[in-house]
Chain A
Amino acid sequence: MTKKEFVKLFQNRLILLDGGMGTLLQKAGMPGGVCPEKWAAINSELLKDTQRKYIEAGSDIIYAFTFGANPIKLSEYGIADETYAINKTLAEIAREAAGKDALVAGDISSCGSLLYPFGSVMFEETVEGFKKQVKGLLDGGVDLFAVETMMDLQEARAALIAIKESCDLPVMVTMTFEGQRTLMGNDPLSVLVTLQSLGADAVGCNCSSGPAEMVDIIRKMKPYAKVPLIAKPNAGKPRLENGATVYDMDAESFAAYTEELIEAGVNALGGCCGTTPEYIRRVGEIAKGMKPVQVERKLYSLACSNRKTVEIYGYLPFAVIGERLNPTGKKFLKEALLKDDMDVVSDLAREQVEAGAMLLDVNAGVPGIDEKETLKSMVNEVCNSVPVPILIDTSNPEALEAALRIYPGRAVVNSISGESEKLEALLPITKKYGAMFVLLPVDDKGVPETAEGRIEIVKRVYSRAKEMGFSKEDILVDGLVMTIASNPYGALETLKVISWCKKTFKINTIIGLSNVSFGLPAREGINSAFLAMAVANGLTSAILNPNDQQMMQCVKASDALMSRDKSGLSYIEYYSGKSLGQDKTSENKIKPQDTSLKSLYDAIINGDVDAAEDTARQALISGKMPKEIIDKEMIPAIQKVGDLYEQKQYFLPQLIRGAEAMEKAMAVIAPELEKNNEERFESKGTIVIATVKGDVHDIGKNILGMLLRNYGFKVIDLGKDVESRRIIDAAKANNADIIALSALMTTTMNQMPLVMADMKRENLNCHLMVGGAVVDRSFAESFGAYYSNDAYKAIKLADEIIKQKNNGG
């Protein structure tokens, strides 16, 4: 079957696929523990009979029973060397079953081992494995291919590449989603964008839990789909009932989703686990006479990683592309790349994304370096560190192909110019891997000075790209920024190119911004002014430094002014609570509620550490006595925080934040108290705290220590993994009222009674209070200790214990 015939098959009609096979073959006698594909190849009549039933039920396409017949999976049964033979035989059986009544798809699924970087199987090894399967299926006479039940977009790519490098048959690719992402985190849009641009002829989802979940996935894909969409759901969720798998949907309830799936945009329907020919028959009956919906496709430029798609278009928010993963002019990055130190790469990637970069430019151009290997390492590192798509910045065809081959999304090639040799070398590679590209308006004669000259090159390169199957949304035209220090009209010519792209040629644009100010002082001003002008002329993206606050302010403001950021919401959110020049990421602000503080009391209740410090200082300046500030504002405030926590209106971070604010204010007040020879507040008592011997988990103990201090206790914190002897000595030396111990494990909590025994032996006039994840009241009471399951309750308990003690208890 040719790709054209495949397109024709889907025109204006719904295609019916087949349903589950494994369960049917088990019912037909396939025993547990055998290799299903090998068993089916031997019991060919049973397999053929089952496949015939699907055709009789209306399936237009049946899948050869080769789901797990790849060498890695077959090796689990010690028959990897039979890969070709098993696939060929199973394809022939399906071919015989189908006759002229249906098409046969060669079925390829996951190899059962995770690909690098998740697992140890390398990409090329997977491609080669799939190729062995493909060869058997081709020789067995399949009409097309179905790659299905993939959890990892990278493995789906490997299968698709293996097929594309073996034949020209159409390929349908479906992935299995858990909710709205695959297990490896791939979202529906990135799956669609990656696979359709890589050359899949139909894309969709199969298996998962049921048809209801697939409606949303199809709906998300539809407005961007250039290819038909497939849904092949399970019959709901499986469960074991008396040793047999039972699915919660019967044929009727399964088929009830047919209309909804068609309305969502599906072009081909079938079933997966738990479905039978009856399910397919019912779907066919409901779908009869219905046609696939036609949705106007969004003509956005779409780049994606395996976890996120970025849409670039005139009225969408401006696309910021981080420039910092380029070693030019960065000695530290050059040195890191030469040493293959990829930590620097991941840090730079994270830093830029946190600062607002939507895509990242990745360049490995260091003299003397193996660009191909370094670029591959950088691409892998960036993919692992951040979810945003990348621009692969190289004109080295070998390095480009190596990077595109392993990139598990849709990258942008930066860049392809009109230089004839480069054009002919880079365009086919870009097309093969379905990437977008930056069109650089330069040709063999060099850089045209005028916009007209550049426009001519844009038209010429686009025409060549179009011949190869590219369309305008696959391209970002580089406006080509020249420095105004050497050419005063350079910026104006760039703006003319951008304007022409927007108004006349209707194509998205990009610039490498900072070159405009090269050689000039105060470059930031020139850069941001030029960026604003370019955005007003229709610029859609730029490569810039997202850590440059002025530049990002310009981007956000331009989006708001050009109505690309509807109602300025993104602008407001970006600057919410942030003054210019302030590092947004370093702020600590678990401020429970209102931030418009009026008093120290409010500052503590709101957990506003900075305001607590300021208002404490203001209170002193206004002439209030330190003791009065503590008694009338701080103590009531921290008690209020405790009350709110007890009522569960506050949760733990807010309780702690209140204590942090209290601590900060106390740091301002305490020196004044000392001047007046006053106590901070009358200490409620002395408590020695520790995590028991052998236990290194101390965050719970540290929280308790902090709260105790701020609720008026004197705390002696001995740290973690503390011997009983040290605890007893500290309690004696400090005349402690309470020893408070924490333990997280059953193996360490037994230290608690030992401490109690030592306390009795030493006759300490002191109580023991215990807590921690595994400790409970009955355990505590078994050796005479007090128990609390919560840090705040522990404070109240400590209060009570000391009151009783003072009353002679």
Chain B
Amino acid sequence: MNDVKVVRSIKPVYNKNLILSRLGYNKYRTTLSAEVMREIERLVKKTENIMNITAAYRILGITQINPPQIILEDGTILSGLRLSELLKNSRQALIMGATGGAKVTELIARLQEEGKMSEAVVIDAAASEITDSALDFVMAMVDQYLRPKGKLLTKMRFSPGYGDFDILQQKEFYRLLNAQNLGIMINEACLLIPEKSVFAIAGICQERG
């Protein structure tokens, strides 16, 4: 399964509490009235409605792990000590990416221009969480396909830019996923545009017979 698979119009299940956490909510101290909660929910729903989430993934064999280097079957070299640790029992890697589309970024910018910063900040947090949840969706879906084959996904995934997994490696993900086909662009600083776009990698372990 070397081809890039694209999944469109994803409606991922996301955790509203994680959106609140992104906004600094503390479950022991922050008190929110029912009205504030309703408003947050309205904005989260609005975010969900305006986002058009597309994801892509592909599975590549892992040829060699020589920490911090990981060499994939097509010769791609990734680097990261924690990533090497994550993949140590994996024979294959799941390369994935997701984007929430440009509309939500435009909405966030427009709200800021209109002085509706509190709305913008909620929608920004919701959009980040929902985009991230699209990768949970991809992992759950791939896991379901892999299970009958006696394969399991690692529970964790890593994204470029975290720890020693350099952000510059976004370029490798961009190439491996043909991310331009998802409407994603990458700039010189390896920033993804639209802003609510994310890449990640997880490992696939093969059960022993």
Residue ranges of A at the interface with B (Cβ–Cβ < 8 Å): 22-23, 26-27, 29-33, 36, 67-68, 76, 109-110, 112-114, 117-120, 149, 151, 176, 178-179, 181, 183-185, 207, 238-240, 243-245, 273, 307, 350, 384-385, 576-577, 585, 588-595, 607, 645, 647-654, 656-657, 659-660, 663, 694-697, 699, 702-703, 706, 744-748, 774
Contact = CB atoms under 8 A, between A and B. Distances in A.
Given A22-B148, A243-B89, A244-B208, A185 B13 contact: yes
B156 to A, nearest CB: 13
Nearest to B205: A240
B124 interface: yes
Interface in B100-159: 108, 112, 115-122, 124, 137, 140-141, 144-145, 147-152
Given A36-B149, A178-B140, A651-B30, A185 B40 contact: no
Nearest to A28: B209
Nearest to B90: A240
26 contacts: A27-B209, A30-B209, A68-B148, A113-B5, A119-B7, A181-B13, A240-B207, A243-B207, A576-B38, A589-B39, A590-B118, A591-B35, A645-B24, A648-B24, A648-B26, A649-B29, A651-B20, A651-B30, A652-B23, A652-B24, A653-B121, A656-B118, A660-B116, A695-B191, A696-B195, A702-B120
Contacts of B209: 26-27, 29-32
B193 interface: yes
Contact of A117 (B8, B25, B166): B8
Given A31-B209, A240-B207, A648-B29, A747 B124 contact: no
Given A594-B33, A745-B190, A748-B189, 14 more contacts: A32-B150, A36-B149, A118-B7, A118-B8, A120-B6, A185-B11, A240-B205, A245-B207, A588-B116, A590-B118, A592-B36, A651-B20, A651-B24, A747-B191
B31 interface: yes
A703 B124 CA distance: 12
B5 to A, nearest CB: 7
B91 to A, nearest CB: 9
A113 B40 CA distance: 35
A699 B108 contact: yes
Contacts of B168: 747
Contact of B7 (A114, A660, A744): A114
A654 B30 CA distance: 10
B206 interface: yes
Contact of A747 (B10, B116, B189): B189
Contacts of B108: 699
Contacts of B67: none
Contacts of A27: 209
Nearest to B31: A649
B144 A695 contact: no
Given A32-B207, A590-B36, A651-B20, A695 B7 contact: no
A151 B144 contact: yes
B2 to A, nearest CB: 11
Nearest to B117: A656
Contacts of B25: 651
Contact of B1 (A29, A76, A652): A76
A394 B160 CA distance: 52
B68 interface: no
Interface centre among B121, B148, B167 (most CB of A within 10 A): B148
A745 B24 CA distance: 21
Contacts of A176: 144
B66 interface: no
A31 B122 CA distance: 50
A289 B206 CA distance: 42
A239 B119 CA distance: 41
Contacts of B118: 588, 590, 607, 653-654, 656-657, 660
B189 A745 contact: yes
Given A67-B148, A185-B11, A652-B23, A660 B117 contact: yes
B180 interface: no
Interface in B157-194: 161, 166-168, 187-191, 193
A183 to B, nearest CB: 5
Q: Is the interface of B mostly helix, strand, loop or mixed?
A: mixed
Given A590-B118, A592-B33, A593-B33, A119 B166 contact: no
A694 B117 contact: no
* Cβ-closest 9 pairs across A and B: A747-B189, A648-B29, A648-B26, A694-B189, A243-B208, A656-B118, A651-B24, A657-B118, A651-B25
Please classify the interface of chain A as helix (H, G, I), strand (E, B), loop, or mixed, using the class held by over half of its residues. Answer: loop
Contacts of B144: 110, 149, 151, 176, 183, 207
B122 to A, nearest CB: 5
Given A592-B36, A648-B26, A703 B117 contact: yes
Nearest to A179: B13
Contacts of A607: 118
B140 A694 contact: no
A100 to B, nearest CB: 29
Given A119-B5, A654-B36, A695-B191, A746 B141 contact: no
Nearest to A658: B118
A656 B118 CA distance: 5
B189 A350 contact: no
Contacts of A23: 150
A649 B29 CA distance: 5
B63 to A, nearest CB: 16
A32 B32 CA distance: 52
Contacts of B152: 238-240, 245
A697 B109 CA distance: 10
Contacts of A645: 24
Contact of B167 (A183, A699, A746): A746
Contacts of A76: 1
A179 to B, nearest CB: 7
B207 A652 contact: no
B190 A591 contact: no
Contacts of B10: 118
Given A118-B7, A240-B207, A590-B118, A651 B23 contact: yes
A592 B39 CA distance: 10
B71 to A, nearest CB: 20
Nearest to B29: A648
User: Max chain B CB contacts within 10 Å: which of A36, A67, A702?
Assistant: A702
B171 to A, nearest CB: 11
B60 to A, nearest CB: 15
A590 B36 CA distance: 5
B150 A22 contact: yes
B54 to A, nearest CB: 10
Interface centre among B5, B6, B31 (most CB of A within 10 A): B31
A113 B25 CA distance: 39
Nearest to B114: A588
A546 to B, nearest CB: 16
Interface in B1-54: 1, 5-11, 13, 20, 23-26, 29-33, 35-36, 38-40, 42, 49
Contacts of A32: 149-151, 206-209
A110 B146 CA distance: 12
B207 A651 contact: no
A119 B145 CA distance: 15
A76 B121 CA distance: 45
A695 B9 contact: no
A800 B42 CA distance: 39
Contact of A702 (B112, B195, B208): B112
Nearest to B20: A651
A26 B207 contact: yes
A76 B25 CA distance: 47
A702 to B, nearest CB: 5
Contacts of B117: 656, 659-660, 702-703, 706
Contacts of B35: 576-577, 589, 591, 595
B69 to A, nearest CB: 19
Contact of A178 (B13, B119, B166): B13
B189 A695 contact: yes
A595 B207 CA distance: 59
